[in-house]
Amino acid sequence: MRHTIQVTVNGQTHRVEVEPRLLLVELIRDVLGLTGTHVGCDTSQCGACTVHVNGEAVKSCTMFAVQADGCEITTVEGLATDEQLHPLQEGFWQEHGLQCGFCTPGIIMAAADLLKRNPDPSEEEIRRALEGNFCRCTGYHNIVRAIRYAAARMRGEAVVPRGEAAPTGAS
């Protein structure tokens, strides 16, 4: 039996009919056409499918769409406002936090959850918060920098992107 559910995705409310076995990530990508959320492993490991459900990061490949009935969902597409990149998106850009970019939406959503709880995380805390996200390209180094950049921006601090820092040692 199909169920009619109502979900609010990035501020927009949708009523859709779904089969119970439809995964939340399939609803987001295939039904609503928001393909920023990726499917990496489909086995709850890699975190590429991470979205926020009622403000908390979850792996949308490990939740049925029917379970999200009545929920507020945010995907990576919902972060930017009025053409203004979210500080995390800006951080990934400025600090070169991605290579192929496949993991990036999931990592940004996991990081957004972290920064809500902890506005000034240490490198160690960032790495722990990313235990559920795999990146097969970057080695995580610049991802950590990107998240620290975003955290500083969100705390209202001025940040100088690495590439634009004054050369050291110049007289």
Ligand X SMILES: Cc1cc2nc3c(=O)[nH]c(=O)nc-3n(C[C@H](O)[C@H](O)[C@H](O)COP(=O)(O)OP(=O)(O)OC[C@H]3O[C@@H](n4cnc5c(N)ncnc54)[C@H](O)[C@@H]3O)c2cc1C
Q: Distance (Å, rounded) from C-alpha 171 to C-alpha 160?
A: 20
Q: Closest by alpha carbon to 74, among 84, 60, 63, 87?
A: 60
Binding mask 73-112 for ligand X (x = CB under 6 A): ----------------------------------------
Q: Distance (Å, rounded) from C-alpha 52 to C-alpha 109?
A: 7
Q: How far is the CB of 45 from ligand X (least distance, A)?
A: 5
Binding mask 101-140 for ligand FES (x = CB under 6 A): xxx-------------------------------xxxx--
Contact residues: other proteins, CB under 8 A: 1, 3, 19-21, 42-44, 47, 50, 56-59, 62-64, 66-67, 69, 110, 113-114, 117, 129, 131-133
Q: Distance (Å, rounded) from C-alpha 145 to C-alpha 102?
A: 18
Q: Judged by CB under 6 A, does residue 142 bind ligand FES?
A: no
Q: Which is nearer to ligand FES, 83 or 99 (CB)?
A: 99
Q: Judged by CB under 6 A, does residue 161 bind ligand FES?
A: no
Binding mask 29-68 for ligand X (x = CB under 6 A): ---------------xx----------------x------
Q: Distance (Å, rounded) from C-alpha 93 to C-alpha 119?
A: 20
Q: Judged by CB under 6 A, does residue 59 bind ligand FES?
A: yes
Q: Closest by alpha carbon to 161, among 152, 18, 21, 112?
A: 152
Which one-letter DSSP state was computed for residue 23? B
Q: Where are the alpha helices (DSSP H) in the chain?
A: 24-26, 87-94, 104-117, 123-129, 141-154
Which one-letter DSSP state was computed for residue 39? -
Q: Distance (Å, rounded) from C-alpha 130 to C-alpha 98?
A: 14
Q: Which is nearer to ligand X, 61 or 112 (CB)?
A: 61
**Residue numbers of the site for ligand X (CB under 6 A)?**
44-45, 62
